[in-house]
């Protein structure tokens, strides 16, 4: 008679495929689900009585930025305590690997200065080796970053690549896929990818498609140019014949809120033509990115030093000031919050709207922003309150929409415990379950779980995770659907959620009774 490491008894089991919950037991042997049904408790070395609790696959964060964070916070507290068992990094075009040349030098200096981190890798295989040697509490998969490829091959140049530079990017993508990456990501709104054209991206994406990967994209615009940006990236994906994931689909800026219907129509038309296109979204109406995103593209050309020097050049600064003053209305600066800086003397601005911080500094907002970016060498994070809840709910309700945090893991202690990060860092998945399922009833629970588990795994080609059936990896979360809730706010973001009782990663308990066990059983999830 078989005996099991673990039996979870009498749970409301939701398998991740969207089918209704059923009362069942689940047995784990080693790192795999061994049996689902009615199982005698005597067969388990450990038995958890789960009556009244919901058992589902561990949540998959298809859009995260934990590439470097996991080396600094290997316990991934903010992620696993939400029920996340797998994060996908390398998003928005910025990946830890492959990296070489100008960007390797820049990133090495930046992470050494900020955190004392040794950047002793270039390729994806070496980066994975470094993560495995560190030991991590969650599983991790990587997308190759288009921005990182371009920065490595040609720095921050605002021009088309030479044939040699393009081939270097394509070869870097091929090697990364051979080493186990899951696809390619681009951030066309960010430097240096903002200087690229669709033909460049399509050629790199085609090489990734040959290896079975997908393309994810932070589009060139999520505001005034939203429709054009959707058409651009759909065109790239169709030309490359590659599955497409639109990152954190949104309508930014009140004048752009009415564009959602047209944006969804363009996506649905592409799906009807046969393109495998889907999207993800975080369940909040504010975004979070570097404050330098407000600068015009031309001001972001070159490396970190060149961009900083440009802010200190009187003529360039005057031109930037004029463009910012013309483009952004005065009240816009009341909708931006300074979330994180690196210098102690500027921490007083964290948590303040730009207009408030500028008043404290006795400056007008544009001058304040430019001075702060210069003092911080461009390392300033900000939260942008530019979206509406009606569009958020419409996006979450789409059958092809998944859930992604768009954040990097953190904790209450260590080098990543400072600042005012976006509350999505600590609350994304419980917020969906508590607010949008239980309170708003926007989604039913099996559908919400599917969007967090099987949908992203199926999109990425990870077929032994994300759903509950014998033989699948035992990534599991046990939670109370009646009480699960996010607690993180914009004012006090470093708060863990409630209602997440147990989390298992590869069959090992990482969260018990809502508390981290300290275990680090996470693995690299490679494309095979």
Q: Who contacts 497 (Cβ-Cβ below 8 Å, separation ≥6)?
A: 81, 82, 426, 427, 429, 430, 434, 484, 485, 486, 487, 488
Whether 426 and 488 have beta carbons less than 8 Å apart is answered as: yes
Euclidean distance between CA atoms 224 and 288, whole angstroms:
18
Measured CA to CA, the distance from residue 238 to residue 231 in angstroms comes to 10
Cα(229)–Cα(249) distance, integer angstroms = 11
Residue-level pLDDT, tens digit, the chain, 528 residues: 579 999 999 999 999 999 999 999 999 999 999 999 999 999 999 999 999 999 999 999 999 999 999 999 999 999 999 999 999 999 999 999 999 999 999 999 999 999 999 998 999 999 999 999 999 999 999 999 999 999 999 999 999 999 999 999 999 999 999 999 999 999 999 999 999 999 999 999 999 999 999 999 999 999 999 999 999 999 999 999 999 999 999 999 999 999 999 999 999 999 999 999 999 999 999 999 999 999 999 999 998 888 888 999 999 999 999 999 999 999 999 999 999 999 999 999 999 999 999 999 999 999 999 999 999 999 999 999 999 999 999 999 999 999 999 999 999 999 999 999 999 999 999 999 999 999 999 999 999 999 999 999 999 999 999 999 999 999 999 999 999 999 999 999 999 999 999 999 999 999 999 999 999 999 999 976
The rounded distance, in Å, linking the Cα atoms of 313 and 163 is: 33
The secondary structure of 10-29 as a DSSP string is: EEEE--SSSPPPEEEEEEEE
Residue 100: burial class (beta carbons within 10 Å; 0-12, 13-18, 19+): middle
| Residue limits of CATH 3.20.20.140 in the chain | 59-285+387-460
Q: Under CATH, which number does the domain 59-285+387-460 receive? A: 3.20.20.140
CB atoms near residue 163 (< 10 Å):
8
Whether residue 83 contacts residue 514, with contact meaning beta carbons closer than 8 Å, is answered with: no
Q: Which residue has the tokens 């972001």?
A: 300
Of 162, 150, 63, 133, the C-alpha closest to 99 is 150
pTM: 0.97
Which residue, 392, 421, 442, 454, is CA-closest to 249?
A: 392
Return the closest-CA partner of residue 82 out of 64, 61, 63. Answer: 61
The 8-class DSSP code of residue 160 comes to P
């Amino acid at each position: 008679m078989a005996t099991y490491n673990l039996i979870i008894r009498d749970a409301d089991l939701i398998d991740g495929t969207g089918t209704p919950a059923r009362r069942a037991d689940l047995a784990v042997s080693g790192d795999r689900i061994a049996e689902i049904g009615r199982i005698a408790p005597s067969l388990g070395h450990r038995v958890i009585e789960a009556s009244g609790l919901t058992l589902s696959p561990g949540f998959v964060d298809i859009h995260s930025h934990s590439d470097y964070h996991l080396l600094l916070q290997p316990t991934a507290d903010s992620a696993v305590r939400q029920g996340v068992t797998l994060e996908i990094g390398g998003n928005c075009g910025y990946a830890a690997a492959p990296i070489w040349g100008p960007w390797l030098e820049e990133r090495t200096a930046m992470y050494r200065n900020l955190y004392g981190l040794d950047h002793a890798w270039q390729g994806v295989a070496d980066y994975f080796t470094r993560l495995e040697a560190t030991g991590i509490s969650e599983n991790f998969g990587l997308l190759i970053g288009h921005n990182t490829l371009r920065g490595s091959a040609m720095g921050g140049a605002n021009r088309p690549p030479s044939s040699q530079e393009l081939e270097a990017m394509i070869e870097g993508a091929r090697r990364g896929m051979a080493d186990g990456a899951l696809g390619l990501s681009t951030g066309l709104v960010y430097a240096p990818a903002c200087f690229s054209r669709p033909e460049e991206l399509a050629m790199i994406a085609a090489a990734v498609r040959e290896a079975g990967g997908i393309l994810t994209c932070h589009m060139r615009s999520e505001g005034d140019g939203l429709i054009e940006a959707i058409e651009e990236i759909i065109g790239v994906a169709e030309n490359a014949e590659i599955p497409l994931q639109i990152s954190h689909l949104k309508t930014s800026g009140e004048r752009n809120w009415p564009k959602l219907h047209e944006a969804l129509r363009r996506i649905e038309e592409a799906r009807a033509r046969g393109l495998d296109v889907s999207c993800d979204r975080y369940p909040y109406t504010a975004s979070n990115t570097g404050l330098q995103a407000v600068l015009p593209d031309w001001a972001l050309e070159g490396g970190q030093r060149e961009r900083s020097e440009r802010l200190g050049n009187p003529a360039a600064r005057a031109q930037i000031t004029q463009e910012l003053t013309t483009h952004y209305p005065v009240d816009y600066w009341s909708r931006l919050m300074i979330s994180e800086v690196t210098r102690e003397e500027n921490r007083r601005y964290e948590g303040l709207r730009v207009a408030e911080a500028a008043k404290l500094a006795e400056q007008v907002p544009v001058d304040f922003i430019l001075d702060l970016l210069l003092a911080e060498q461009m390392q300033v994070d900000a939260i942008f309150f530019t979206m509406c809840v009606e569009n958020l709910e419409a996006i979450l309700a789409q059958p092809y929409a998944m859930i992604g945090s768009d954040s990097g893991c953190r904790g209450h202690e260590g080098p990543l415990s400072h600042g005012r990060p976006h509350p999505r860092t600590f609350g994304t998945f419980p917020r969906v379950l508590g607010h949008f399922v239980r309170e708003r009833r926007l989604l039913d629970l099996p559908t919400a779980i599917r969007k967090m588990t099987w949908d992203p795994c199926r999109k990425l080609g990870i077929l032994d995770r994300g759903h509950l059936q014998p033989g699948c990896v035992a990534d599991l979360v046990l939670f109370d659907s009646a009480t699960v809730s996010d607690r993180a706010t914009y004012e006090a973001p470093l708060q863990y959620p409630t209602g997440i009782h147990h989390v298992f990663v590869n069959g090992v308990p990482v969260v018990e009774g809502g508390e981290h066990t300290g275990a680090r059983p996470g693995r690299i999830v490679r494309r095979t």
